[in-house]
Structure 1
Amino acid sequence: MTPLRIGNFSGFYGDRAAALREMLTGGELDVLTGDYLAELTMLILARDRLKDPGAGYARTFLRQLEDCLGLAHERGVRIVTNAGGLNPAGLAERIREAAGRLGVPVRVAHVEGDDLTAAHPGALAAHAYLGGFGIAACLRGGADVVVTGRVTDAALVTGPAAAHFGWEPGEWDRLAGAVVAGHVLECGTQATGGNYAFFREGDVRRPGFPLAEVGADGTCVITKHPGTGGFVDVGTVTAQLLYETAGGRYAGPDVTARLDSVRLRQDGPDRVRIEGVRGEAPPPDLKVGVNRLGGFRNEVAFVLTGLDIEAKADLVRDQLADALAKSPPAEVRWDLVRTDRDDAGTEETASALLRLVVRDPDQEVVGRALSGAAIELALASYPGFHVLAPPGRGEPYGVFEAAYVPQTAVEQVAVLPDGRRVVVAPSRETRPLEAVPAPPLPEPLPPGGPTRRAPLGLVAGARSGDKGGDANVGVWARTEDAWRWLAHELTEERFRELVPESRDLPVTRHVLPNLRALNFTVGGILGAGVAAQHRFDPQAKALGEWLRSRHLDIPEALL
């Protein structure tokens, strides 16, 4: 059977606006998917809905689609997206209105049932992660455009594949293969050289968006349209497979994919074949993303220039101690960021930043804590006093938490183009999620060879990201000898040494020999999630690159 060609045109809310047209005109496709819903996006859409009950969906998608709806219809390309966010029915109706204005005969369907906000008092948004069979029902019902709310990112691929090939629940290996393909596609150009550790190996100034040629057996080839920028190789696909995952089991509502079974091989220029994927029954529970208002946050960054940086920082802390003690915020955090250099050639490179962040449930508290006291130091503090921007009254911030409900407690409904409502049954067979037993490690390199102190990134790639308050850091080797060294060298203890922030946090190492990779999860390093802005890099996007910059004793044979 001819493979189903599924492309991606969006990896987040705000991605390249022209990508939908680029993908429609760049080559042959059957289905185009767009992913818009990060954890933070759900909070943004919830705040939009507070101002306008008719909002709650990704408005940028509607503008993209209006520009390309006729083109998609002419080419027979179906579009599947989670841009419906908190209001998939509302977005579906806006699409119908746009199609009517444009005179394009488009059949629109949507999926609902994920909204559990009413069951979580005080939440701005609480949504279950649904699987792909609601999407499949919409496509089988004749839809040209399918809009969903909160589904798993991979469901945007598993749904079309199940509809096209006639897969049913329980075909674990086929579904797992589609989940892996969907995970590679979901972040758009991260599969084609974007945000890639070895980006200098190709032209990534404007990488093309990826597509997957999915077979009836669940195997696939990851590629991109001819002539587009970026590149697809085993490394770019490995990096994305490790992104925001953890161990050998990758759980979803339809299937648990065994990432430890994935095998990759180069299948020609810009083509990587994924095969060998095994699947298991999904867990009995669905994940629910709960977004709440966490309180209010205020910040000021003092610029410290030239000599005596540490003493200047101490002075500011002492001067603000009384003001912070009079009306103490619930949380006070100081961070001295040493960006300064000795004998610097510019003032900016001679300067460090001292950041003060305060949080409290009361906006007045965070406003009083900084607004007056910090600015009153302007003529009475360290030499060269200035700040990046004056503090304000404080801004609200959100917190994210994951909850779980039985699959049977959520009714997924596919609303077909003719208005019929089809209830999508949960998986009949489930399996509690368990960690995969640690696989055997490769033989270590022969001992006693010469070593050199050098950055880890000379022999390993990495990609990192966030899941709620936790971070994951995937690290992979590009040669078998480098893997033999990495698997024994980069233990949980060594990771804690190289990433001091993790020393008092739970760190778990997962070994994926087929990918020559290690995947670390660091519990709690991001506090209450990205919206809380707990640390300098609130989504841990660069945590892997920091790890690659750390120095170890590396065998010279690998360098």
Structure 2
Amino acid sequence: MELILTGLDIEEKAEIFTEALFDLLGGKDQFDEVDIQLHRQDKEDPDSHEEAMAFLRITVKSKDAKVVGRIFTAKVVELALANYPGWFSKDSIGSGTPFILYWPTTIDSKFVKEIVNIDNKSIEITPTNQMNLSSHKFTFDTPEIVPYESEEKQETFFGRLVGARSGDKGGCANLGVWVKTDDAYSFLFHYLTVDKLKELLTDLEQYDIERYDFPNVRAVNFYIHGILGDGASSNTKVDALAKSLGEYLRAKERKVFQNNLSRTGKDDKYKIEGPKMTINLMPLKSRLINIYLPSLLIVLRKRTPSMMPCPMK
């Protein structure tokens, strides 16, 4: 099994994944042989997405086919969204298989019947746009984000200031970036424009990119049109799902204001008042949290073009 690790903290990511994997499997002792290799071909301050990648190869051997069969790959897949950010695997070489082209379109809701089967009854659900209901649109006053100014700057990896996650949306990709303090958000808001993103990640220069701002959670999101071609199942990129695009951005080295390097904060001067929701989270006991603190983004808004399937060019 060969996995891709991208961006900063490569060795820590490899250690966290292998420990979690063999913990799920019940330990290494059940195998006749375990071989773990970390191939560091990644570069500091990479000039391309691929230059930010390293390879983790895990090989297990056993006389018992069950131990190294489906159960092993199943446990690897279970960790896909529960371990280091930007997780994806390298496909093994095999015989040719069919591929799927992503072809988005729309169908009028009057041609689609939604039926709920409950208590031995079938209930047809009428689309809301056919029920003559009055529509409501929420409007919010966007706060003015004042540029952050400071004379003291420090050379650092972008990932020491921001968190990021990314992934596919049909033939397009989302790249979300967030920070933990208002001063850091002021810097992020004015610094990381679409043009600056293309300057940092030169691979993206050819693509149409839209930016969406989320001041309530001190975040911005980039919607990158066409980067995945006809979809994840048919493009030929190493990272066909754009899962590690955020880690590629975090691996870039730039000068930032020294005060912005704080990763904690409770100030909320850019908060927009709106619908509220309370969420209780159980404590998470994992060393992964000490390296990357995932962000929970809850956005109550109408469906916008950025949330629609990526249109064909």
* Cα offset, 1:404, TM superposition: 1.2
Q: How does 1:10-29 map to 2 (within 5 A)?
A: none
Pick closer, same or farther for the CA change 1:394–1:476 going to 2, 3 Å: same
Q: 1:530 aligns with which of 232, 249, 258?
A: 232
Q: Is 2:181 aligned against 1:479? A: yes
Match of 2:165 in 1: 463
Q: Which of structures 1 and 2 has the larger relative contact order (alpha carbons within 8 angstroms, sep 6+)?
A: 2
* Cα offset, 1:338, TM superposition: 5.9
Give a deviation string over 1:430-457, Cα, whole Å, max 9, x none: 799x9x999444111125x121221111
Pick closer, same or farther for the CA change 1:478–1:397 going to 2, 3 Å: same
* Cα offset, 1:520, TM superposition: 0.5
Q: How does 1:40-189 map to 2 (within 5 A)?
A: none
Q: Is 2:267 aligned against 1:544? A: no
Pick closer, same or farther for the CA change 1:460–1:409 going to 2, 3 Å: same
Match of 2:118 in 1: 416
Check whether the contact 2:52–2:248 (CA below 8 A) recurs between aligned residues: no
Match of 1:354 in 2: none
Give SS of 1:396's match.
Answer: coil
Letter in 1 for 2:123: V
Give SS of 1:530's match.
Answer: coil
* Cα offset, 1:558, TM superposition: 1.9
Alignment partners' CA distance in 2, 1:531 and 1:431: 40
Letter in 1 for 2:196: R
Pick closer, same or farther for the CA change 1:522–1:430 going to 2, 3 Å: farther
Q: Is 2:93 aligned against 1:396? A: no
Q: Is 2:139 aligned against 1:443? A: no
Structure 2 spans left out of the alignment, 5+ residues:
1-11, 21-47, 57-89, 262-313
Match of 1:321 in 2: none
Pick closer, same or farther for the CA change 1:423–1:534 going to 2, 3 Å: same
Give a deviation string over 1:47-75, Cα, whole Å, max 9, x none: xxxxxxxxxxxxxxxxxxxxxxxxxxxxx
Match of 2:82 in 1: none
Match of 1:406 in 2: 108
Give a deviation string over 1:177-232, Cα, whole Å, max 9, x none: xxxxxxxxxxxxxxxxxxxxxx99xx9976xxxxxxxxxxxxxxxxxxxxxxxxxx
Structure 1 spans left out of the alignment, 5+ residues:
1-198, 207-334, 342-347, 350-387
* Cα offset, 1:389, TM superposition: 11
Give SS of 1:401's match.
Answer: coil
Give a deviation string over 1:494-537, Cα, whole Å, max 9, x none: 11112222111111110111111101000010111111133111
Pick closer, same or farther for the CA change 1:392–1:483 going to 2, 3 Å: closer
Structure with the higher helix share, 1 or 2: 1
Give SS of 2:106's match.
Answer: strand
Check whether the contact 2:228–2:241 (CA below 8 A) recurs between aligned residues: yes
Match of 2:26 in 1: none
Give a deviation string over 1:1-54, Cα, whole Å, max 9, x none: xxxxxxxxxxxxxxxxxxxxxxxxxxxxxxxxxxxxxxxxxxxxxxxxxxxxxx
Count how many residue pairs are aligned between Structure 1 and Structure 2.
Answer: 186
Match of 2:216 in 1: 514
* Cα offset, 1:337, TM superposition: 5.7
Structure with the higher strand share, 1 or 2: 1
Pick closer, same or farther for the CA change 1:430–1:445 going to 2, 3 Å: farther
After superposition, the CA RMSD in angstroms is 4.1
Pick closer, same or farther for the CA change 1:389–1:530 going to 2, 3 Å: closer
Alignment partners' CA distance in 2, 1:479 and 1:394: 50
Give SS of 1:405's match.
Answer: coil
Alignment partners' CA distance in 1, 2:53 and 2:230: 31
Match of 1:425 in 2: 126
Give a deviation string over 1:456-513, Cα, whole Å, max 9, x none: 1111111111110000011011111111111100001011112222111111110111
Alignment partners' CA distance in 1, 2:91 and 2:122: 53
Pick closer, same or farther for the CA change 1:337–1:458 going to 2, 3 Å: closer
Pick closer, same or farther for the CA change 1:541–1:515 going to 2, 3 Å: same
Q: Is 2:220 aligned against 1:495? A: no
Check whether the contact 2:49–2:245 (CA below 8 A) recurs between aligned residues: no
Alignment partners' CA distance in 1, 2:227 and 2:152: 36
Letter in 1 for 2:105: A
* Cα offset, 1:429, TM superposition: 5.3
* Cα offset, 1:394, TM superposition: 3.0
Pick closer, same or farther for the CA change 1:430–1:485 going to 2, 3 Å: farther
Check whether the contact 1:438–1:511 (CA below 8 A) recurs between aligned residues: no
Give SS of 1:520's match.
Answer: strand
Alignment partners' CA distance in 1, 2:49 and 2:256: 31
Match of 1:215 in 2: none
Letter in 1 for 2:258: E
